[in-house]
Every structure is written in C-alpha cells, then in structure tokens.
C-alpha cells in the first residue's frame, strides 16, 4: 500500500504497531490456549504475533511467493502450520478460538464471502470470534477489475454481507493506523497528478506529507476526515475498519434478537448502541 510514495522506511512498521494496539484490544479476552486460523496471511506478520500469544496458529496463503516468506518467517515457531492453499477450498483442521481475516474479504465477491464465512462457522469454538480488517469505502460497493481486482465495500455493505452469512457483528472500529497513511497516499497521488513529472520529487514531498500528517497522529486521522465530511468532501476515499463477528445466536421465541451491536465507524473507541 505504501510503496512508491516516498514515505520513510519506518512507515510500515509504524502502521503495524498502531494496528497491533487495536488487535490486542480485540483479542485481549481470548484464552492463550486457543488455536488461531490466519486466512490470507501474506508474509505472516500477524501469524508471528498470534504465535507468540496463542497455543497454535494455522496460516493459509494462496500466493506461492508470499507463502515462501510466511514459511521462512514462521520457521522458528513450532506452533505455526503454514499452508499454501486457497482459503475458499481449505478445510480447517480442528476448532479455532479466533479466525483472523486481515484484508482477505476484499479479494472475494459477496457469494465467496458467504461461502467462506459459512465454512468457518463449523470450525469455530462455541465462544470463537472472527476478526476482520478490511479496506472500506463510504457508500455501496466498488469493484476494481484489471491487474488489481478487489471489491471495496462500505461498512453498511459489510454489515449486510455478514448478516446474510449468519453472523452477528459485535463491533466495528475505524483502523486509524491505516487511515492516516492512506491520507498521505491520497495527497501524494494528487500531488503527482497536478505537478509536472520533473518537479514531483517524491523522496522530499512524500516524506514532507507523511511527517506533516504524523505530527498530528492519531487525532488528525479522525478529525480531518470528519471536518471534510461536514463540507461534503470525502477524504480519504479509502478507509479501513476492524470488524468482530460471531455466528448468530438463534432468535428467541419472542422474535427479538438479543445481539447488541457495539458500533463505532469512525472513532477508535468502541461505543455501545443497539441495532
């Protein structure tokens, strides 16, 4: 996401550390004895974190190149099983207390998301959770074709997709650590679009924009989009959210679902509210 923008090499690490805080909060109550299924694990940064925190991790990555990096990264963790497979056809071995989908759903259409989530229901422990981290847009669904094929969905669209797949949404939380570099990326893109190529000077301008925004982190990643929203300007266009799900409990006889939705689209704190 951040390559080719002139950002400092520490930018990726800074984002990961920020996301780590949010993930740690979400998985904080889970027993350390559980198994974790990391689907679409990429090079295995999260796999490594889960391996240190939980008893067993099974990580599935479809790309042979990324799988090789995953295999190397996890080689010093005997509790990690790296698998080179398609998450849709993979048959999870055993029961899992946590399934992590870190940016996988945007590569799947709605039908495949439902299939995947349906398959996961049977491998979750009774109190098991699914934690998703997904790129989001403000409204509806946007499908990109061509070299980079992805489906960007709004939070509301995800809510519907999850409900259709038989899941309750326990919380939604804006991923501030992602939104801030995304703002920098979009500003750099605008700069490149409006300035002659010989004047672009990315190593200087990219760093200037990155550090300028980082000075106000984390509040600016919340306040700037909100202010601009109020003026009718969507910035950044792409956002990112954490979603915590669990299989829907059967609706009680009186017809009222007892699930309470803890919901915060924009702020870092999860707030209570009812659906």
Q: Which of 57, 51, 45, 49 is nearest to 96 (CA)?
A: 57
Nearest approach, Cβ of 72 to ligand SAM (angstroms)? Answer: 15
The whole-angstrom separation of Cα 15 and Cα 46 is: 13
Eight-class DSSP state of 175: -
Residues 9 and 54: their CA atoms lie apart, in Å, by: 29
Is 260 a binder of ligand SAM (CB under 6 A)?
A: no
Binding track over 35-74 against ligand SAM, x by CB under 6 A: -----xxx--xx-------------xxxx--x--------
Residue of 103, 192, 235, 266 that binds ligand SAM (CB under 6 A): 103
Of 13, 86, 94, 273, which lies in the binding site for ligand SAM, with binding defined by CB under 6 A? 86
Tell me: does residue 242 bind ligand SAM (CB under 6 A): no
Q: φ, ψ for residue 261 (rounded to 5)?
A: -95, 115
Q: Does 107 bind ligand SAM (CB under 6 A)?
A: yes
User: Which range touches ligand SAM (CB under 6 A), out of 74-82, 86-94, 187-195, 249-257?
Assistant: 86-94
Structural tokens at position 157: 């669209």
Q: What is the 3-state secondary structure (H, E, C) of 88-150?
A: CCCCCCCCEEEEEEECCHHHCCHHHHHHHHHHHHCCEEEEEEEEEEEEEECCCEEEECCCCCE
Residue 188 is a binding residue for ligand SAM (CB under 6 A):
no
Query: Where does this chain bind ligand SAM (CB under 6 A)?
Result: 40-42, 45-46, 60-63, 66, 86-88, 102-104, 107
């Amino acid at each position: 996401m951040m390559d080719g923008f002139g950002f400092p090499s520490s930018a990726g690490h800074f984002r990961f550390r920020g996301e780590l805080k949010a993930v740690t909060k979400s998985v904080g109550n889970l027993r350390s004895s559980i198994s974790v299924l990391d689907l679409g694990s990429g090079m295995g940064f999260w796999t490594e974190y889960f391996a240190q925190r939980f008893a067993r991790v099974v990580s599935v990555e479809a790309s042979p190149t990324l799988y090789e990096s995953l295999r190397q990264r996890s080689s010093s963790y005997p509790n990690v099983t790296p698998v080179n497979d398609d998450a849709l056809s993979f048959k999870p071995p055993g029961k899992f207390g946590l399934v992590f989908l870190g940016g996988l759903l945007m590569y799947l259409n709605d039908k495949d998301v439902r299939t995947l989530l349906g398959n996961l229901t049977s491998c979750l422990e009774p109190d098991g959770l699914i934690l998703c981290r997904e790129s989001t847009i403000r409204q509806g669904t946007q499908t990109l074709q061509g070299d980079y094929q992805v489906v960007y969905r709004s939070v509301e669209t995800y809510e519907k997709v999850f409900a259709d797949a038989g899941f309750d949404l326990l919380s939604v939380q804006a991923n501030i650590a992602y939104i801030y570099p995304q703002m920098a990326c979009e500003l750099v893109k605008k700069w490149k679009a409006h300035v002659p190529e010989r004047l672009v000077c990315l190593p200087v301008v990219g760093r200037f924009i990155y550090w300028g925004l980082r000075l106000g982190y984390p509040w600016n990643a919340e306040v700037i989009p909100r202010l601009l929203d109020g003026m009718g300007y969507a910035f950044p266009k792409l956002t990112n959210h954490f979603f915590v799900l669990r299989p829907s409990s059967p609706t009680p006889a009186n017809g009222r679902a007892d699930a309470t939705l803890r919901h915060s689209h924009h702020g870092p704190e999860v707030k209570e509210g009812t659906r």
